[in-house]
């Protein structure tokens, strides 16, 4: 369905803030995209939950690039070991080898986020930000 990307991201941030999470929307792109909005919302919600859980805060923004629109979820945590980034998309993969729910869940958040991104017609990538923390990018056709 045609979806106002800024509205979807802003509503997600407002819901997270209402739930007490330190999440903010830092900039929009003014684009309507064809997507599955519920799948995209679930993807972004998982990324926000991970950012808040592991880094304390999340900032979301939308930007236009060549033929694409990118939603970025940025945190200022410790980032990830570069050799582990791709592996963390596998089911039950975690940096912390314990399976205690007190230490961060069971390792399905990124697996679900990637699957929901694909259902929404998007791709999901993770990278360490050059300054600090992690940036998750959900890229959709413009």
Q: pLDDT for 53-99, tens place per residue? A: 889 999 999 999 989 999 999 999 988 888 877 877 776 655 655 44
Bridge partners (DSSP) listed for residue 118: none
Cβ count near 126 (within 10 Å): 21
Nearest of 75, 18, 33, 110 to residue 8 by alpha carbon: 33
CB 88 within 8 A of CB 126: yes
Rounded to whole angstroms, how far apart are CA atoms 13 and 57?
Answer: 11
CB 55 within 8 A of CB 75: yes
Q: pLDDT for 88-137, tens place per residue? A: 777 665 565 544 555 555 556 788 999 999 999 999 999 999 998 999 99
């Amino acid at each position: 369905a045609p979806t106002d990307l800024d509205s979807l991201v802003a509503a997600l941030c407002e819901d997270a803030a209402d739930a007490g999470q330190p999440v903010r929307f830092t900039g929009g792109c003014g684009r309507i995209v064809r997507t599955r909005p519920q799948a995209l919302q679930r993807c972004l919600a998982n990324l926000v939950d991970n950012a808040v859980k592991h880094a304390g805060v999340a900032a979301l923004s939308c930007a236009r690039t060549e033929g694409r629109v990118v939603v970025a979820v940025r945190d200022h945590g410790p980032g990830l070991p570069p050799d582990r980034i791709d592996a963390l998309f596998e089911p039950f993969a975690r940096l912390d080898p314990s399976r205690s729910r007190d230490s961060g869940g069971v390792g399905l958040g990124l697996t679900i986020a990637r699957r929901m991104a694909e259902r929404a017609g998007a791709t999901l990538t993770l990278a360490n930000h050059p300054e600090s923390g992690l940036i998750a990018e959900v890229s959709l056709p413009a």
